[in-house]
Amino acid sequence: MTKFDDQVKKQLDAVVGESYEPPKRWRATLLKWLAAAVLAVATSAAIVGILHTHVMQAQTAPPKAKASKAVPVTIVPVQK
């Protein structure tokens, strides 16, 4: 810190005190909490909607056709 900063800090401490905390506005805090709650509900509703759509599509989709043709596999022994 510079000499000027030290002087300003001393003067502020003399006027305000060492532990100044500005008053909190309860309306702003309440609005922030309310907005966060609305956003959380909207996000969870969107997630549930998306999952419901995908589950319903998976349940109503026709079963996939199994491969009717057998695939030949040749096993080659390892030579030492």
Pick 49 or 9 by higher pLDDT.
49
Query: Which structure tokens are listed for 40?
Result: 């959380």
Rounded alpha-carbon distances, angstroms, from residue 47 to 24, 33, 43, 50, 54 = 35, 21, 6, 5, 11
Query: What is the tens place of the pLDDT at every residue in 5-17?
Result: 888 888 888 887 7
For the entire predicted model, the pTM comes to: 0.51
The domain locations on the chain are: 23-61
Buried b / exposed e along 21-34 (16+ C-beta atoms within 10 A): eeeeeeeeeeeeee
SS (H, E, C) 17-60: CCCCCCCCCHHHHHHHHHHHHHHHHHHHHHHHHHHHHHHHHHHH
Q: Is the pLDDT score of 80 beyond 70?
A: yes
Q: Label residue 67 by pLDDT band (50, 70, 90).
A: low
pLDDT for 16 equals 75
